Amino acid sequence: MELIKVGQIKMSHSNSKNHSQNKAQSNVRVKVIETLLAIQAGQSLTGLLDPLLNGLQGEDKGFAHALLLTTLRHWFATARLLDSLADNPIEELAVRTSIQVGITQLLYLQVADHAAIHETVEAVKKIDLSRATGLVNAILRKVSKNPNKFRKKCDKNHSLPNWLAKQLKQDWAEYYDELTQALRQPAPIFLRVNYTQANNEQYLQLLAEAELTAQLLNLTTSMALANSNINMTVSPILLQSQTPIWQLPNFAEGMVSVQDAHAQLAAPILHNVLQASLGSNSNKLSLNLLDACAAPGGKLAHWLELIESKFAPKFHVKQTDEKPAITITAIDNEPKRNSRIFENLERLQLPTTISTRELGLEILCVDATTWQANDDSKKNTETNTKNNAGFDAILLDAPCTATGVIRRHPDIALLRTEADVTQTVALQAQILDNLWGQLNEGGYLLYVTCSILKAENVAQMQAFISRHTDAQVIEFDDAECNWGIKQDIGRQCLPLVENSGDGFYFALLQKNRNELS
């Protein structure tokens, strides 16, 4: 009796272990399905990903991340495949989502057939869809019989909502096929070295010592101002090794940030333009800068790093006892996103508030469509004249549909609608008009979006120029710029090739001086 009892205990323990493993695998798929349903209900992946992964351990965490992101990247393609395989239309969202999660495992993650099918069916049971297990099982088994055929079918066309694909074909007919396929791929990781702590060569050495492979890229830009030509190079680091970001050398100490290669152009463009401008204005007593729609603060941090860098030229601005020589105001209208600015600046060991006579920073939670930096700006006083009442430079990282970063945030394809474009264009115009009135004559505004839709970019700029006759376009020299595509106004970056940056748009404007003032 005792041996039988021991044997029974051992057998029971073994079954319990296998049952626990199967339960864990099913639970991962349940969590992924629930997350996808939340995204389809309007929630952002940004707010859902950490809660999902924090509840998992080890291999389950990596599998959940891969399954979720890959399912999103191929969402519309697998949806079309599902419709072609079903005998009758499948309307129930949870059922469709579960099947698409199963299809993704079979076609894109090389999960064994029996595991993908069985554990997906088990997950369906756990979300109270037992009545659909037969349907889920039948469709996944059909896919598993010829995965190569069905993957080719999925990969043949785009994986975007039809309205967006149609708009991209209209905007970028020449690049359409290449662009829509590129948007299905994972985005590369680019690093920006904090120049207050190190330079690129020093950090590349640290990466090499950590046995991490990386490549230095060079993005060249040339612009012609009234009295000078600007030639500049921005050198993002392409991280080629797979590693958790927090394990990068000196990441916690703020020596490096993750920032897309094209996003790294914004702050240096304005920084170099201001350097050239100040070269012909040695009597400047102060420099007043604005970073609008600044959260989560990547471009703001880059700007501060350049201003305080021991590796970059300093602004030659005379100091007074009244205010810092250089003042930066950063604004955004979302409190949670604003808090991210403080977190990022603190990690980078950059100032988070007005601190010294040389540099001051103020971060405000305000609405850029209506906010006025100085209610008394129209008063004519000795220290605040009509023609020098506002900002010398404005970096406007305008709200947009973010269609240029779908590789990095694939949920955008599910969340955006055609109506969002119209609303966003109207919002951008409001912000532009409000901030332009607060730009000093002779000052510069850099308009940036992470959109690849012309309505938000070149068309927006053309409409703005028609409303503001005092706006002059500063041209980027097409022959000297090795990034982006020349537009009637500005340059458009598209994520067309492997290891390219995201889809960003840049337009630089200067406010003409009023000769009658």
For the chain, which ranges sit under pLDDT 50?
1-22, 376-387, 515-517
For residue range 81-139, list pLDDT tens digits in order.
999 999 999 999 999 999 999 999 999 998 999 999 999 999 999 999 999 999 999 99
Residue 34 parent element (H or E) = helix 2-40
| pLDDT for the residue 397 | 98
Residues 507, 394 contacting (CB under 8 angstroms): no
Number of neighbouring beta carbons within 10 Å of residue 210: 14
| pLDDT for the residue 277 | 85
Distance CA 420, CA 438 (A): 27
| pLDDT for the residue 184 | 96
Residues 6+ apart with CB under 8 A from 141: 117
Distance CA 5, CA 250 (A): 56
Q: Which of 21, 31, 34, 41 is nearest to 61 (CA)?
A: 31
Indicate which residues carry an active-site annotation.
450
| pLDDT for the residue 437 | 97
For residue range 485-511, list pLDDT tens digits in order.
999 999 999 999 889 999 999 999 999
Number of neighbouring beta carbons within 10 Å of residue 385: 12
Domains of the chain and CATH, by start: 2-157 (1.10.940.10), 266-511 (3.40.50.150)
Residues 6+ apart with CB under 8 A from 463: 429
Look at residue 289 and give its three-state secondary structure: strand
Q: Which two tokens stand for residue 220?
A: 């060249």
| pLDDT for the residue 280 | 53
pTM: 0.91
